Amino acid sequence: MKNQTDYPLERVRADFPALEQRIGDYPLTYLDSAATSLKPIPVVEAMRRHYLEDAANIHRGVHYLSQKATEAFEGARASVRQFLNAEHAEEIIFTSGTTAAINLVAQSYGSATLRAGDEIVISHMEHHANIVPWQMVRERTGCVLRVIPVTDDGRLDLPAYAALLGPRTRLVAVTLVSNALGTINPAAEMIRAAHACGARVLLDAAQAVPCRTVDVRALDCDFLAFSAHKLFGPTGIGVLYGKRALLESMPPFMGGGDMILSVSFEETIYNGLPNKFEAGTPHIAGAIGLARAIAYVQELGLDRIAAHENDLRDYATGLLEAIPGVTIVGRAPDKAAILSFTLEGVHPHDIGSILDARGVAIRAGHHCAQPLMQRYGLAATARASFSLYNTRADADRLAEAVLQAKELFA
């Protein structure tokens, strides 16, 4: 794939002041966006304006600042609804992130509906946030956890998945894009198969939303979760999408202010959607920052972002493959711009440290996917992840630093 000639890379990079830093004698080469993305000036400025001008609480106040903050907060919900193509704004629940969103479904929907012998299907490539909550539900309800295998090249074993589905399957919870391998899973196909046997489906879209269109109605998923901080937005804010009928049937996850209509010592009457699941003062500035981050990627164009990142993925893959001793982990034909790799004779943590000394920021470890590492007989991998602000020069610096690490340990 050729480099895009119309991609405004210099303008994009100017929006991210973090990239102007130097690490010792080296320019910062940030290749850890799969963990968290850098934040552009427009997002930070939107949050700054709220804190400096409109930092009032929402929903409860009748004064001007409260009304203005409420308008911005609910406007952010409308932005997320449009971004995901959800049918109703009340299907958008603000949480503290993907982890909180999955736990909300696990504790509210899972604990309320699952019984002993019911089955939850997850995959071998899940982030811990999409494993542990279901184990906790299993401990409380006696339900069964079943796991979709992963092939040697990093794809879900779809025939095995089909065989796992059955009359006791109640929920399928899978990632749309693997954070550790970059694999893009065939979600629409998997959802159709799950629905055919009466199961609900939750998608972890944390790695998907920064660089590709995610349409919940086209996918027909029942739940979907993502975090703002991987989408060039702030930390501490995320989203749970759920079909309205399902959310209405679910009990509240937490109790407190704003999720009630009335409270007495005899009984409490809960509020409707989305307030029922948003107890307490929310991360108002975070929602505003998320809305601006959504606008940022939409202005740039998700298709253009994906094409740019795919070019960098292919270019960097070729550079790493040319280094003797490098093994790329995860070779699915459809994958995001995430490159997990090992270097013979060098521990991934040592790779990360050596690269850091040369200004190259990558992730080294199990990536909160220990079962997947065990599947490949690995304790950890080094992971480089490319984003909308990266360049081919970044890939060159990555490869040069990996080669230096190899020579250092030779």
E strand intervals along 217-307: 223-227, 238-242, 260-263, 268-270
Rounded to whole angstroms, how far apart are CA atoms 278 and 264?
20
Rounded to whole angstroms, how far apart are CA atoms 334 and 312?
14
Q: Which residue has the tokens 């989203």?
A: 239
- 368 catalytic? Reply is yes
Contact 373, 297 (CB under 8 A): no
Closest CA to 129 of 222, 207, 27: 207
Report in angstroms the alpha-carbon separations of 115 from 104, 118, 142, 169, 291.
18, 6, 6, 11, 38
Rounded to whole angstroms, how far apart are CA atoms 208 and 355?
26
Strand partners, 222: none
Specify burial of residue 1 (Cβ count, 10 A radius: 0-12, 13-18, 19+): exposed
Look at the alpha carbons of 332, 337, 340, 346 in this order and tell me if their dihedral is positive or negative. Answer: positive
Positions marked catalytic: 368
